[in-house]
Amino acid sequence: MEYRKIGNSDLELSVITFGAWAAGGWMWGSTDRNDAIKAIKAGYDLGVTSIDTAPIYGQGDSEEIVGDAIKGISRDKLQIVTKFGMRWDLAKGNLAMKSKNNAGEDIDVYKYAGKESVIYECEQSLKRLGTDYIDLYQIHWPDLTTPISETFEAVSRLIEQGKVRYAGVCNYDGAQLKEADQTLEIVSNQIPFSMVNRGVEKETVPYCIENNKSVLAYSPMERGLLTGKITADYKFEEGDHRQGNPYFKPESIAKTNAFLAKIKPLADEKQATLSQLVLGWTIERPGITIALVGARNAKQSIQNAEAINVKLTTDEIQFINTELKSAGF
């Protein structure tokens, strides 16, 4: 595995970081707790020492699963990355979505990052994760109802108390990042990025490069679309958020699969899966520091970790870029 420094900090994360959204089950149809724990452990054995989770993933379930998975592993060998600012248990801030929890009950999810809420959320996360500090603590989505300075004053206090090491953001644009930086040094921005979803390269990634903010790319596999295993007649489980997502409409699936067929011979040549080729390309993209990748089981987790062995030449990267362009991505 390779490790990269995050911003100006002394924190290093594994280039392939375990993304624990699907592990929480919520919005993914379901999860098998034991499979998720085995997936995290299998990744760790191959050097995936960084795990990204959030309280909202399964309303605490994902963090608890991570906590169970890391029991017995020396804490200084792990980097725990989690988030705050999405409340399903408090009706404050802006309503983000109406959803259902893992028991099928209706919940309202709010974007809220007021000072007391941030402090409270951190305490809850520490309990669920079974640890006394978080390596990187990130606001999950911008909260337009709370001054950015108030939110990061709270994180600053948590850093002073030793409960958090570094502050990051998710889904922030350059202007929001700049404002947050005035209160507390922000080391990273977690944003959506994949071969077929590169909108952040227009402004946000260049801002991060210029200001030494690491980019943690989430959904680099576009939620499974880039594995090549999704067909136009794919059946999603009840509660799977991908149903109805524009990327998973039959015409989008067909367009993506036609592109993947063009690059598959390169994957075969490298004795790699399509997923591994996609991840290899992602982590070489300018400005992308870390790829956050989910896995439902140990086999997928091992495959993700081994993507680090797929080395691409400049010509091979250019070939993929040319195919992306001609496919209309």
The catalytic residue positions are: 57
Written as six digits, the tokens of 132 are 């006394």
Partners of 4 in beta bridges = 13
Rg (CA), the chain: 19
**Cβ count within 10 A of residue 318:** 11
Distance CA(323)–CA(329), nearest Å, equals 9
H-helix segments, 95-171: 115-129, 148-160
Is 195 within 8 Å of 324 (Cβ atoms)? Answer: yes
Residue 265 amino acid letter = P
Distance CA(171)–CA(154), nearest Å, equals 19
To which residue do tokens 């034991």 refer? 34
